[in-house]
Amino acid sequence: MASPSGGNGKQPAPKQPATFYFAYGSNLHLKQMKRRCPHSRYIGRARLVNYRWQINERGYANVVKTDGFWVDGLVYEIDAADEAKLDINEGVSKNAYAKKTMRAQLFRAPGNLYRRPTSWIVDRGGPSKILRQAREAAPKQPEQPQHWTQEVLVYISLNFTTDSPPKEEYINRINFGLTDARALGMEDDYISNCIRPFIPAPTRSQRAPGGATAEKGKQVARGLKRNASPRTGEKSPARPGRAPKRPDNQTPQQTTTSRPRSQTVPRRPGATSQQHPPPPPPPPPLPPRPVPPLPPRPVPRYRDAPIIVVEEYHFSCRSI
């Protein structure tokens, strides 16, 4: 009797249940989540009650047990392969983070984003663009999000729990994630009161035209070629498969630019000059200021005074 599964008699491997992963740090950024967990799907927002958000002494985000506080984040559905990659990125083997299953209040994403692959959301411009296009296509009253209590996977640091400043490179990654999280419904009050004491807001020079922060080190200066090589004194290499032009194959414009200034080709009659007009002549110099003459020196006056002449006489006595 043949087995119902086929001729080989092998049963298909049972599908492992998916894991709901709670992200509260740099994995709020969907572009980073797409790179780290390519099979992940977006589920919605979640709130972890009686925990507080912090930057620990390692310079990275963490949650610590504190009554009266809560931590907001995003929930992704991940498989076993994505979870293994997260273990490596979070440093589980180095005791940087530990994996814990906690109960969180889960708020379901809108219908056009619920269980969408993270790569699908990123490739279509991000959550802000998708939600804006949905509102423009079918404007209607916003639906109340469904919410329930769900067990989620949380990476928490138990050995490093002291409030500390963040690493410099980590600031931009958190701000990227906050841009996506705000578009997905994270409240501004939570960002201002819980995250901004540790993570400064991006400046205007770091913001892109659409409101997102500009990624550091990936912008190309205007007017510069991407493949321009630095000036090292060596000859610039030609393009592969294309030999440099010989002097006799140059165009008239190229030969004109290589000539000295005194040997340029004269313009045709009637041609308009594209050069800028000469600058106006400088103003004439000011006339010298007249120097007033010096006043006459006073003539000294002498008063008449009596003159006393003293004559001296010498007498000598001689004996006769």
Active site residue 83: no
List Cα–Cα distances, 79 to 13, 17, 211, 233, in angstroms. 15, 8, 32, 53
* Residue 97 marked ligand-binding: no
List Cβ<8 Å contacts ≥24 apart for 207-213.
Answer: 210/128, 211/128, 211/179, 212/126, 212/176, 212/179, 213/172, 213/175, 213/176, 213/179
Task: Give the DSSP H/E element, type plus range, for residue 73.
Answer: strand 61-78
**To 5 degrees, how large is the angle CA 18–CA 105–CA 180?**
75
* Residue 217 marked ligand-binding: no
* Residue 24 marked ligand-binding: yes
* Residue 26 marked ligand-binding: yes
* Residue 22 marked ligand-binding: yes
Helix residue spans in the chain (DSSP H): 30-36, 80-89, 118-123, 127-137, 168-183, 188-190, 252-258
The residue annotated as part of the active site, out of 57, 77, 83, 90, is 90
Amino acid found at 142: P
Going by the annotation, the residues of the binding site are 21-26
Going by the annotation, the residues of the binding site for substrate are 21-26
Q: What is the set of active-site residues?
A: 90
